[in-house]
Amino acid sequence: MYLSQQTFHSALHTNVIFGVNSVEESLAAKMKEFNKTKVFIATDPGLVQAGIPGKIQSLLKENGIDSIVFSEIEPNPHAVTVMKGAEVYKSESCDMILAVGGGSAMDFSKAVGVMASHPGHILDYRRGEKPVVNEIPMLFAIPTTVGTGSEVTSVAVVTDHEVGRKYVVASPVLAPKLAFVDPVLTTSLPRHVVAATGMDALVHAVEAFTSVRSNPIAEGLALQAIKMLKDHLPPSYAHPNNLEARSQVHLASTIAGMAFNLGGLGLVHSCSHPMSAIYHVPHGLANAILLPHVMKHNLISNYKKYADIARIFDPTLAFENDKVAAERLVDLLSEFNQSLNIPKDFSYLGIEFTQEMVDRLAHDAMEDKGTVPNNPRKVFKEDVIQIFHKVLPLSQEGGSAE
């Protein structure tokens, strides 16, 4: 679209504090600025074992700030857990929320904020239902993974396990007030988590860059994040003590979050959400496996943009025309996945997928109202089924995957 015919809004709601040891140096002082007295720390059992919430609680205590830790957050947080967290928040008379963890901790915290300031059930506020209108309690975020970008977005994803569906709750009021991007907190991440969450950030950037909602500000952020991830994710995966690489990846993830908060996400996310909701595939891993296949499907929509991405991965493509460069992107992304030991498809799950199971996944992907409309190529259910056929091991009655 010509810029002269485009209108867009561009608000970055979150103040980002980046730096090694920035949590230790600035967190308590920032909380005191806002006169907060009782902090609800939302985290998961793994991080409690690693001792991170305990350290934060001690740090706050030294500064005269009271806090409680809620650590029952599971991957893809359940609506039931959100409601339980909101009860604890109210009964303990907390006056702010601190999310410590990956995307699940941040999604959970945003959703608890909605329940602390609105009546009813969290699923009443999913996209397409009631709007989130009231300010939520003050929310700070400390991301401890390198992929989600949720520390700078105004979206939360909540899973209804009774129906096996992920739902989006979205409103500008959900964006954290302050995010501490501190690379030190990511050095203990297992390698496979670095790979999957780093690829999640890459998908955020690629989809924000190519989305029909994209604009020059989102594009600038997205391209910068892609460059940083291309250069620094492999060395960050190779060695946890490479603090420079880990710092670059951690910040790239935040920049990619800013990009998709402005530009939106597309079909990779539409397809990965049901894989996580039904088969519990980690979100970043599902995104990484699907990325080359969705890109192949989308290329026709904008060869120029996909060529721009391909030339980041292989600068020699500067000498090729856009169509040729764009078509190389599919293999380049597959090779990048391979360097991070990401599986080629979902056969590692050990499940044979029937046509009925594929149909359910495609139906749920099409219902992903926050992503499908942004995809650069118009999405039809038959296309989604074809994409799933390429990454799922099909049972004999379902034919064979290509």
Q: Is 136 left (phi over 0), alpha (psi -120 to 50) or beta?
A: beta
Give Cβ neighbours of residue 396 (< 8 Å, ≥ 6 apart).
Answer: none
SS (H, E, C) 58-113: HHHHHCCCEEEEECCCCCCCEHHHHHHHHHHHHHCCCCEEEEEECHHHHHHHHHHH
pLDDT digits (tens, 9 = 90+) for 368-398: 988 999 999 999 999 999 999 999 999 876 4
Q: What's the rounded mean pLDDT across residues 7-19?
A: 85
Position 6 scores a pLDDT of: 75
pLDDT digits (tens, 9 = 90+) for 332-375: 999 999 999 999 999 999 999 999 999 999 999 999 988 999 99
Q: Check whether 277 has a pLDDT greater than 80.
A: yes
pLDDT level of residue 80 (50, 70, 90 thresholds): very high
Helix, strand, coil share of the chain (percent; to 5)? 60, 10, 30
- Full set of structural domains in the chain with CATH: 15-186 (3.40.50.1970), 191-398 (1.20.1090.10)
Position 1 scores a pLDDT of: 58
Instruction: Report percent pLDDT > 70 for the chain.
Output: 98
Position 131 scores a pLDDT of: 94
Position 401 scores a pLDDT of: 42
pLDDT digits (tens, 9 = 90+) for 188-223: 888 999 999 999 999 999 999 999 999 999 999 999
Q: What's the rounded mean pLDDT across residues 255-270?
A: 96
